[in-house]
Amino acid sequence: MKVTAIPRAIWVLLVANLVIALGYGLVAPALPGFARSFDVTRAAATVVVSSFALMRLVSAPISGRLVTRLGERRVYLTGLAIVSVSTFACAFARTYWQLLVLRAAGGLGSAMFSVSALALLLRLAPPDLRGRTSGLFSAGFLVGSITGPLIGAALVGYGLRMPFVVYAVALVVASLVVATQLRGVGGRPGTTDTAGSTLAPALSFLATLRDPTYRAIITSSFTQGFASMGVRVALVPLFVTDATGLGKSAGWSGVVLAVYAGGNVVAIALAGRLSDQIGRRPLMLGGLALMAAGTLPLGYSNGLVAVCALSVVAGAGSGLFAPTHQAALGDLVAARAPGGTALAAFPMAGDIGGVCGPVIAGFIADRVGYGPAFALSGVVALVAIAFWVQARETAPQVTSV
């Protein structure tokens, strides 16, 4: 059986994604403290952090339309340029309001390059490697998001402004790599693909929402943002240090999050190939089930060993489905013109989950405790399972046999 090689253009995208993820993690430790240095409240400091995510949400649909009209490469490079310039300017902000506006502008650029990178990745990936390339893309983001804050924490020693300068330089490097190595790739969209076949119009969100498989993809994207990127990151450190029966130091919070990330990395390494071989749907159902199993009882645990064990399970579940639903989306948009609001809605759903998850779960934790707060994340995963039960298999090499 002939094994298709991953195209060189995809490797370029993967390297650029790793650089971008590293850079994003660089500013994470510095941003809240930098905002507080302007003598504002903690609430005002968090607004600077959330302004980036909020602007991503608002501009994602626009980014999808831009990709359809201008092509992935132009939107990608423009987005990187916006984030690079705004991040560099953040290093020289003199007031809180300057920092807020500049960070929000970065969210616009982030939406542009995120949507265009996803569109380009899904379009360039061979059908039989769509799961594997999605897995590598997710792994690169995960590695960057883990190691970036460690480097950023070291850079803070040279001043709160230094991580922003380094991030801006990293984005310039990523831009140069994409601009020079992807010439002729992802240009102005045409009406045919590389094989000469006519492309169908790009998918619109409202029209595609009638497809139960697309509804399942959007629901699991929301689940990923809500449970993995939102509630877990926001509540686990508080749970480990505050909860009765645990009461550990803040350092143990990092250990628990690292254990979760370890399960995530191992599962992602397997998920890409497996979803290409046995299909998207089995891995989605299994991954979501593992996440629910590792999250539902987490808030009721009263020992560090149990918390770590459940975190491994939840991390493995997330690692199984994170790249897989992205590959399923690629199956749906194959042979379509690039971009479209249906494509943009995928990362948008994850962002919505990441924004509202900590707020809702934090409110519940304050009122009735950590148990119900984490259980809510497990319920969200169960709801996603219900949607995937109704979904069809999309992997070409599986559906064709």
pLDDT given at position 360: 85
C-alpha pair distances (Å), 105 with each of 59, 233, 389? 10, 24, 40
Helices 250-278 and 130-155: crossing angle, nearest 10°? Answer: 160
Q: Name the nearest CA neighbour of 239 among 123, 93, 377.
A: 377
CATH number of 205-394: 1.20.1250.20
pLDDT at 185: 65
Long-range contacts of 371-374 (CB under 8 A, 24+ apart): 371/299, 371/300, 372/299, 373/231, 373/235, 373/299, 374/231, 374/235, 374/239, 374/295, 374/296, 374/298, 374/299
* Structure-token pair, residue 28: 């994470």
What share of residues in the chain are helix, strand, coil (percent, to 5)?
Answer: 80, 0, 20
Q: For residue 316, what pLDDT is reported?
A: 93
Angstrom distance (rounded) from CA 132 to CA 232: 26
Backbone angles phi, psi at 200, to 5 degrees: -75, 160
Residue 264 is predicted with a pLDDT of 86
Tokens of 8: 């060189």
Angle at 193 between CA 198 and CA 215, to 5 degrees: 80
pLDDT for the residue numbered 35: 83
DSSP state of 158: G
The domain made up of 8-181 has a fold known as Growth Hormone; Chain: A; (1.20.1250)
pLDDT score at 200:
61
Where does the chain hold its CATH 1.20.1250.20 domain(s)?
8-181, 205-394
Which ranges constitute the DSSP H helices of 279-303? 280-295
Tens digit of pLDDT at every position of the chain (401 positions) = 445 678 888 888 888 888 888 877 778 777 777 888 888 876 677 677 778 878 888 888 888 888 878 888 889 999 999 999 999 999 999 999 999 999 999 989 988 888 888 888 888 888 888 888 888 888 887 777 777 777 777 777 788 888 889 889 988 988 888 888 877 665 555 544 444 455 566 667 777 888 899 999 999 999 998 888 778 777 777 787 776 556 666 667 777 777 888 888 889 888 888 888 899 999 999 999 999 999 999 988 888 888 889 999 999 999 999 889 988 888 887 766 556 678 888 888 988 888 888 888 888 888 888 889 899 999 999 999 999 999 999 887 765 44
CB 242 within 8 A of CB 307: no
Tokens of 338: 């690039």
Q: How many whole angstroms from its chain centre is CA 239?
A: 24
